[in-house]
Amino acid sequence: MKKLFAILAFATLAQASSFEAAKYFAQGNTAYTNQNYQEAVELYKRSQKEGLNSPALYYNLANACYKSGDLGSAIANYRKAELFDPRDPDCAANLSRALSQTEDSISKKEVPPALRSFFFLYFYLGLKEQVILALAFWVVFWLALIVLILSKNESVKSAMKKFSLAFFIITLLFLGSALYKYYDAAHQGVIISEQAKVHAGPDASYTEIFILKNGSEVKVTKKEGSFVKILVHQEEGESQAGWLEASQIETIL
């Protein structure tokens, strides 16, 4: 009975949390419509804290940040929306516009078109979609394996061997794709402070080697204390590395 009560309590709490998230999201939309962009930002963030995690939330939050003049946070949230829904043309257009307004003109290293075409499903499907497909094919793999074990018909067993192997390979492909997408997003960051001093080591006492402006996109490679090591891809193809305070950057995941 205690276990049942715990389950019911958890379900009620989850439902209440979901209701609160939806309420703040709706209030954020109203504030945005009324051109109260900073208020909309705060309401969308409250919705996120309550558990809402959707491309619509990140897209709306990015728009509100952009309208309120916070270019770095806008780019970070457009990237989050893109992670879960890479096929949204409005998000792609707004992200492109925001990136064109950064002072440093430093953005994420783009993948060549030929490579994007070859890995079509990786770039076409969002993170959650890839995870769901991996789980779905994993279930189908086990169903095929059960039929293989239980069936006494040799033709059925032969077919199930091929199907189970195919489903297992597809599962690994989607799982590997989702894990790489997660890893890439977790190490992708955007400068959200007006400017960030990049040092030669993980402390402000180290030599300042260059400065990044708001909205610059970087790759986070390491964390040490309150500092993170970043890698910056220049337009010329060269890369620079250094350390900056973690509070000056927002990672995509």
Give 235's pLDDT tier (boundaries 50, 70, 90). low
**HEC profile for the chain?**
CHHHHHHHHHHHHHHHHHHHHHHHHHHHHHHHHCCCHHHHHHHHHHHHHCCCCCHHHHHHHHHHHHHCCCHHHHHHHHHHHHHHCCCCHHHHHHHHHHHCCCCCCCCCCCCCHHHHHHCHHHHHCCHHHHHHHHHHHHHHHHHHHHHHHHCCCHHHHHHHHHHHHHHHHHHHHHHHHHHHHHHHHHCEEEECCCEEEEECCCCCCCCEEEEEECCCEEEEEEEECCEEEEEEECCCCCEEEEEEEHHHEEECC
Give the start-to-end residue ranges of the domains of the chain: 2-99, 117-186, 188-251
The CATH architecture to which 2-99 belongs is: Alpha Horseshoe (1.25)
**What average pLDDT does range 194-214 have in this prediction?**
93
Give 11's pLDDT tier (boundaries 50, 70, 90). very low
Indicate the pTM of the whole model: 0.86
Q: Is the pLDDT of residue 110 over 80?
A: no
Q: Is the pLDDT of residue 145 over 70?
A: yes
What local confidence, expressed as pLDDT, does residue 122 receive? 85
What local confidence, expressed as pLDDT, does residue 10 receive? 36
Domain 188-251, CATH? 2.30.30.40
Give 105's pLDDT tier (boundaries 50, 70, 90). low
The pLDDT tens digits for 30-64 are: 999 999 999 999 999 999 999 888 999 999 999 99
Q: Is the pLDDT of residue 180 over 60?
A: yes
What local confidence, expressed as pLDDT, does residue 13 receive? 40
Q: Is the pLDDT of residue 1 over 70?
A: no
